[in-house]
Structure 1
Amino acid sequence: MMIKMKKIEMLRSWINLISGNDNYILVNKFYLDFMKDIQGAVFLSQLTFWADKGRNKEGWIYKTQEQWFSETGIKKYKISQITKELEERRIIETKVMKVNGNPVKHYRLLYDNYIKEVEVVLENKDMKIDILNSEKGEFDNDKRISENQKKKSMKKEKGDSKNSISSITEDTLSEKTNTEKTTEETTESYVITVTFVIISYINKLTDKSFDYYSKANIKMINDLIINNYNIIDLAEVVEKKFYEWRNDAKFKMYIRPETLFKFENFKKYLEQENANSIEVTPKFIIIETKKNLCSTILNLITDLEKETELKEDYEFDRLKSEIHSLCAEL
């Protein structure tokens, strides 16, 4: 019974992990196998995303058909067809309830039936999950969240702290590690780019405004880079601790660069399992998690490129190439 419960928990975590987004449509191939239809796949993926992110205590979420169309491009009649199919399969239930005095259709996922069908699809794809033989995961399975990046004026901020950046990189970038990584690889602009991207990611998740050009932040990031940690490692720690601490009144304040990227803390956070994670994590879920994280950071970089005035001061192309390589190696 314990193994079965862990398997159910793991499958539920996985479907939440691979589902939807609020900024762009990216559908995992699993949903095509599950729904046999691209529009159905998009709808269920987004519904699962919102159900995990915004459900009330009873598990209900609501969106009007106009909102679904605006988000997915799926027309009303098709949404009705998809909803009817999902209700017949007992994947969801619907109920009309009032929102601000207006009747709106609400949706609730029936996870028991949903998980059973998920398992059947995975087995048919030769992706059967054996809890006893699966490999131990090295990072959490929490849901990635991608929100619209707020526009910021970077030119003044960068100019005001240019001297600080130069002084810190002159000191720290001369260091060498015991590996093949050299100071030529770890350039000033590369460290600044990584710092800019990862601090932007923290700001997006937390809705705060940590300083991209803080001398202390740049030094911490540089220390991690010269010890062979990469941008995805940093993003993984940010996500892991954000989802672990975001609703914890005591620890929420520690979702900040000086805690996450302090070398001793970072190494521990990267290696530890999430406090609420299941005991074992299949390898294919670990790979899927990392690929999704790569996509999240690549999309963030694309947004930052559009918003940044002084693009020549950053190594965005190099960083994107590195992320593609890391993802290809999974």
Structure 2
Amino acid sequence: MSKLLINENPIMIIPSLALKMGLNEAVVLQQIHYWLVSSSHVMEGRKWIYNTYKEWNVQLPFWSESTIKRTIKSLEKQGYLISANFNRSKMDQTKWYSIDYEKLSELDGNAEALIEQPSDQNEPNSTSDCAEQEVMMVQAIPEITTETTTEKDTIPFSEVIEYLNDKTNASYRAGTRRTMELIRARWKEGFRLDDFKKVIDLKAIEWLNDPIWNKYLRPETLFGTKFESYLNQKSPKKQWREEDFDLDD
């Protein structure tokens, strides 16, 4: 049997949650929820856990620290993740995290069934550092219909936006409804991740250093109705500059 198959505790992904806020965000939020369930740290009327980005990277080694940091900031901006500093020393900048379950329930009427708010009852006496414990999820995956499977069949919302942000130094969010609609529309037309990356590359080369056009390096422009035209355009020619030549020869 392959060692890559299930011989260790898996990280579970709730498909409907990933569709609503992005794959990366759903994985991180679910991971934080798992630790909140067993947390004994209660402040300001809610449970908290703490970890540095490096410690989160131990639990989620398939991502870089920068990806984890960007995903956590995305969750904070969307209001699903609450962060604070309850450390005794002001020099200790380790962040504490909790989930705004009330806001999460606004996604739809079934959100509370997907991630149930942790109870204060029957909790363990203490928890050790999250990075030193096994990574394990216990939530069940909801029943998936054929229709939702087709639509959610690995539509890479987070991967597309992460690539766009990396190439353009932007900070767009994968969970924005309009952005997800645009990516989903192109995906249904048969375009795939490599196509999105190619469009981003082509237009970044063409527009990134142009003070007028660089504002159009955004999801609504790149992934709109002209997507196929952008995909099939020829790579822009290199614009030679004086410094490209050795004038001393």
TM-score using structure 2 length? 0.39
Which structure shows the bigger proportion of residues in helix conformation? 1
